[in-house]
Amino acid sequence: MVAEVTGGAAAKAAPAIELRGISKAFGPVQANKDINIKVNKGTIHGIIGENGAGKSTMMSILYGFYKADSGEILIDGKPTQITDSQAAISAGIGMVFQHFKLVENFTVLENVILGAEDSERLMPSLNRARKLLTELAAEYELNVDPDALIETLSVGHQQRVEILKALYREANILILDEPTGVLTPAEADHLFRILRGLKEQGKTIILITHKLREIMDVTDEVSVMRRGEMVATVNTAETSPTELAELMVGRKVLLEVEKTPAKPGEVVLSARGLKVVDEFGVERLRSIDLDIRAGEILGVAGVAGNGQSALLEALAGMAAATGEVKMNGEPLDLTLKHSDAGTRRERGVSHVHEDRHRCGLILDFMAWENIAFGYHNAPEYNKNKLLMDNHAILEDAKGKFERFDVRPPNPMLTAESFSGGNQQKIVLAREIERNPDLLLVGQPTRGVDIGAIEFIHKQLIALRDQGKAILLVSVELDEILSLSDRIVVMFDGRIMGERDPETTNAQDLGLMMAGMTGDVA
């Protein structure tokens, strides 16, 4: 329900949205602290901040998912109570969700009118709805077929359906929370064109992203959040990625990765015709050939879900595969029975799993126990042969925590009590200090704050410079471009081509990521 508390004449220049003194706590966590922000009408307003800064909480309050502990919301200058999402919709606010909010086996048209059909204001027949949808799609260049089933659409198109859904509900203010995580660069560009078009039509857009480049490209103003507080709002034209990064973490950060050219040596791992078929009989990896040399980082780019996980798990001994893989010239047994992850470790393969919660850590075990996870048979942990030497593991953990700057430096805490970045440092310390010949690493900085990203990148470069081979899988193109010595792009279980990071760019890689071009047919 929208209750207009006062009828004070809104000045023409009133912001589309104003939050005054919004606070929200979850138990001991102060997720939002006295937030003040004005979002001007007809602008694209970026919100950035590290993981856990409170961005999604603020947007959820604005959309009526959470109730603020204190503070007020003004829409067009009028104090407005947003008690639930229906109230948000009535106030003209639309939230663009990721595809999972759509009903897969319904058509675009059905999804768009779903939930809106009972609203009196929007009681059109299906034909009227179709006409309106077609008009909206044309007006905002959101071309999607109203009769297509959602499950047949690409993620980019599904996102357009979410936008249409909001527009159909007459939203004037659109909120997008990390919308490009699932898109190729070309799809992201298209989204930004749509957003600019919407802005020209007078819509107001709030774009939450952790990607500084997107902020610089598309926003008019940007607000920075840090630890629940709003620390600054600046004009995008008057700021820089460096300044924004500093505001986000509260200190200077190095955005560029510093590295010298690679000195690739012998082939450490070679794969020929590597295939993975999953439990449903679907080919996840369709005959991959690749070589990884000592002293180089081979980057694997691609939109999530194109076989990268199967590649990592096949090489790490976590998924059965066929084909031929040699490690230091000696064949690996690719059946799972004989060659589990432990055997791979003995052969010099370490693995930083892309899902550190599911596979990298046991969250309710203590950090020092996690340090030995997978390496409990290591001689230094088993000096007395009968029992594991917990003291030795704890001492080792303390050293690793110091060298990897894990905060707080207390291995007696459960893994769960560390932030994402520090959890990732624990996993990296464990895997890197095994001195592997090959490090497989998936999404090393996903959900990791900027300061820790910098540290993790340095560790990977240092490992490369010690002559180790690294296979880096990441959906962050910037990360792939800045760390890799060679880049391959995966699409639909295949390698589409290889590029030199010095001569390629996001667009070139993006075409291969979308399966549009490549070196192979």
How far apart are CB 164 and ligand ADP at their closest, in Å? Answer: 25
**How buried is residue 280: exposed, middle or buried, by Cβ count under 10 Å (0-12/13-18/19+)?**
exposed
| Partner interacting with residue 49 (select from ligand ADP, Mg ion, none; CB below 5-8 Å by kind) | ligand ADP
How far apart are CB 447 and ligand ADP at their closest, in Å? Answer: 9
The tally of CA atoms less than 13 A away on the side-chain side of residue 515 is 8
**Residue 57 touches ligand ADP, criterion: CB under 6 A:** yes
| Partner interacting with residue 199 (select from ligand ADP, Mg ion, none; CB below 5-8 Å by kind) | none
Nearest to 146, CA basis, from 107, 113, 114, 115: 107
**Residue 98 touches ligand ADP, criterion: CB under 6 A:** no
Piece of 25-33, 215-223, 251-259, 377-385 that binds ligand ADP (CB under 6 A) = 25-33
| Partner interacting with residue 54 (select from Mg ion, ligand ADP, none; CB below 5-8 Å by kind) | ligand ADP
Nearer CB in complex with ligand ADP: 94/228: 228
Q: Three-class SS string for 364-415? A: CCEHHHHHHCCCCCCHHHCCCCCCCCHHHHHHHHHHHHHHCCCCCCCCCCEH
Q: Which of residues 26-45 bind ligand ADP (CB under 6 A)?
A: 26, 29, 31
CB 14 within 8 A of CB 6: no
User: Residues touching ligand ADP: how many (CB under 6 A)?
Assistant: 11
| Partner interacting with residue 51 (select from Mg ion, ligand ADP, none; CB below 5-8 Å by kind) | ligand ADP
How far apart are CB 212 and Mg ion at their closest, in Å? Answer: 16
x/- letters, 34..63, toward Mg ion (CB under 5 A): ----------------------x-------
CA dihedral 418, 421, 423, 424 (to 10 degrees): 180
H or E segment to which residue 23 belongs: strand 17-26
Choose which of 22, 39, 56, 156 interacts with ligand ADP (CB under 6 A).
56
The tally of CA atoms less than 13 A away on the side-chain side of residue 71 is 24
How far apart are CB 65 and ligand ADP at their closest, in Å? Answer: 9
Residue spans of alpha helices (H) in 433-505: 450-465, 477-483
How far apart are CB 419 and ligand ADP at their closest, in Å? Answer: 9
d(CA 462, CA 464): 5
**Residue 49 touches ligand ADP, criterion: CB under 6 A:** yes
Nearer CB in complex with ligand ADP: 62/89: 62
Q: What is the DSSP letter of 4?
A: B
